[in-house]
Amino acid sequence: MDGSSSVDILISEVGPRDGLQSISTILDADRKCQWIQAEAAAGVREIEVGSFVSPKLLPQLADTAEVVAFARQIPGLTVAVLVPNLRGALGALAAGAHKLTLPLSVSETHSLKNVNRTHLQMLDEARGIAAAIRELPATDRPKFEGGLSTAFGCTLEGQISERKVVELAVALIEAGCDEVGLSDTTGYGNPRQVKALTQAIWREIGEERLTGIHLHNTRGQGLANVMAALDVGLTTIDASLGGMGGCPFAPGASGNIVTEDLVYLLEAMGLRTGIDLNQLLAVRRKVDQWLPAKDMHGFVAHAGLPRGFSSPTLTPGAGNPATAQ
């Protein structure tokens, strides 16, 4: 990813996909592109811009190929997408996405609800996607991630075995994924789990094959889990503008962690994100106007930045109070 060496923690914005997938209001492609361009201008280096899923299931994301084509023109931006199967992956490859994530729910019950496939079927999909990627010239191959959804617990099955999470992480790598990512789809996770699961997976597949985590704030544990992720050594954290999002196939699974609050947390600790928080707050206000029926969460947007706030990204004194309109 271009410019990744200039940041300590990579924040991957998932709002244009995860934030929109569970709401009824359809944001048109032009506004999605404005959103993505504005976040990139604020310094966001990776954005999950959509999903190559059937438009009958998620009409909000029917224009993902168009959005990918636009986002690819933004210098230094890694364009990520979610793909539920080989068919979706072929669409993503044709559009030229830089990163593909295949969600494999550790809870097989959730997998059947979410993508209508068992674990074995999803691993077959992963092998097919890996084979399709290998057919491309080496310079054109996207990164292929296996997303371990419901890794911390499931609203349908309850407790999830750590052993099962590790087994599926190994299986995804053997099926051809470049890396895996941990996902707290239901907001069940706690800091101890974050550390334990990360270390257990690292022991089996190596630290370089698990660097990122996708957290939800459903039960208020989001930023506490971020701290655990930082302590254990993860370097990529997903977040959504205004905390929008939640899996439509996991009852009660609302709320990603808030991008703006995450940036503030990291920058206040002296960690570089490369993101200008004032600019990011301006993006939030714009999206909030476009989606008036959607509640946006977070504290920094309402409280403003502390007087004299400075960080590795912002110049000293640049952070005047910036509140949501």
Per-residue pLDDT at 133: 98
pLDDT at 207 over 90: yes
Burial code of 239-270, b = ≥16 C-beta within 10 A, e = fewer?
A: bbbbbbbbbebbeebbbbbbbbbbbbbbbbee
Q: Which residue has the higher pLDDT, 57 or 86?
A: 86
pLDDT (mean) for 7-18: 97
List the domain boundaries for the chain.
Answer: 4-303
> Does residue 319 register a pLDDT over 70?
no
Q: Are 97 and 142 in contact (CB under 8 A)?
A: yes
Burial of 290 (0-12, 13-18, 19+ CB in 10 A): middle
> Could you confirm whether 247 is annotated as catalytic?
yes
| pLDDT of 322 strictly over 50 | no
Predicted confidence band at 316 (pLDDT cuts at 50, 70, 90)? very low
Burial tier of 120 (Cβ tally within 10 Å: 0-12, 13-18, 19+): exposed
pLDDT digits (tens, 9 = 90+) for 240-284: 999 998 665 555 546 899 999 999 999 999 999 999 999 999 999
CATH match of 4-303 with 3.20.20.70: yes
Query: Which residues, at least 6 apart from 20, have a Cβ–Cβ distance to it below 8 Å?
Result: 27, 32, 60, 61, 244, 245
292, with CB counted inside 10 A (0-12, 13-18, 19+), is exposed
pLDDT given at position 324: 29
Tokens of 26: 């359809």
Helix (H, G, I), strand (E, B) or coil at 219: coil
**Active-site entry in 33, 154, 177, 247:** 247
Asked if pLDDT for residue 107 goes beyond 90, the answer is: yes
pLDDT above 60 (res 323): no
Predicted pLDDT at 305: 92
What is the reported pTM? Answer: 0.93
Question: What does the pLDDT read at residue 249?
Answer: 54
Confidence of residue 314 (pLDDT cuts 50, 70, 90): low
Record the tokens describing residue 242, joined without a space.
Answer: 């205004």
